[in-house]
Amino acid sequence: MRSMLYVMTFVTVIGAAFWAYHENYKTQDALSEAQAVRADIRDARARLAVLKAEWAYLNRPDRLRDLAEVNFDRLGLMPLKPDQFGRVDQIAYPAPPELPITDPIEVSSAGADE
């Protein structure tokens, strides 16, 4: 009976130790994964910053103005002027849809020469 108790205790200790180490390793793994993700975030952020800077640089007003001038033939872009504001009642209503043809008559020009 006593040896049984010893064996049980021993097995419990081993089991607990195994569990504890297992959890520890899982935690370490999670930590290193978090670190890797954070490194990814940092890289992504750096990349994003560069892309944002590039976007801002490519969209700077000077460049857009020059591009609008170079491509004037195709785009015809002009600075916004006060007379470009319209009113709602200046816009035409869409043309009413044509009525559907309900009783079509077959017309053929075949043999019209005769």
Partner 1 sequence: MIRTPLRPLARILDARRKGENPDAIERENLRIRHEQMRDAARSRAEGRLLVMAVMFFCAFCVVGARMGALAASEAEEPRAQATGASIIASRADIVDRHGRVMATNMETFSLYAHPQQMVEPIRAAKELVKIFPELNEERLLKDFTGKRKFMWVRKKLSPEQKQKVHDIGEPGLLFGPREMRLYPNGALAAHILGGASFGREGVHSAEVIGTAGIEKFFDKELRDPAREGAPLELSLDLTIQAAAERVLLGGMKLLNAKGAASVLMDVHTGEVISIASLPDFDPNDRPRPLTEGDASDSPLFNRAVQGVYELGSTFKVFASAQALDLGLVNPNTIIDTSPPMRVNGHPIGEFAGKNYGPLSVSDVIVKSSNRGTGKLALQIGKKRQQEFLKSLGLFDPVPFEIVEAAGGQPLLPPRWADISTVTISYGHGLSTSPLHLAAGYAAIANGGHYVQPTLLKQAGPKLGPRVMSERTAAQSLDMLRKVVTEGTASFGEVAGYHVGGKTGTADKPRARGGGYYKDKVINTFASVFPTDDPKYVLIVTLDEPVETSGKKPRRTAGWTAVPVAAEMIRRVAPLLGLRPDIETRHLTNIINTSN
Residues forming contacts to partner 1 in the complex (CB under 8 A) are 28, 30-31, 34-35, 38, 41-42, 45-46, 49-50, 52-53, 55-57, 59-62, 65, 79-85
Report in angstroms how near the CB of residue 39 gets to partner 1 at its nearest. 10
Cβ partners under 8 Å of residue 68, min gap 6: 75, 77
Distance separating the N- and C-terminal Cα atoms of the chain? 123
C-beta closer to partner 1: residue 9 or 28: 28
C-beta closer to partner 1: residue 55 or 110: 55
Question: Please, where are the H alpha helices in 1-114?
Answer: 2-58, 61-70, 72-75
Report in angstroms how near the CB of residue 4 gets to partner 1 at its nearest. 23
How far is residue 107's CA from residue 114's CA, in Å, rounded to a whole number?
16
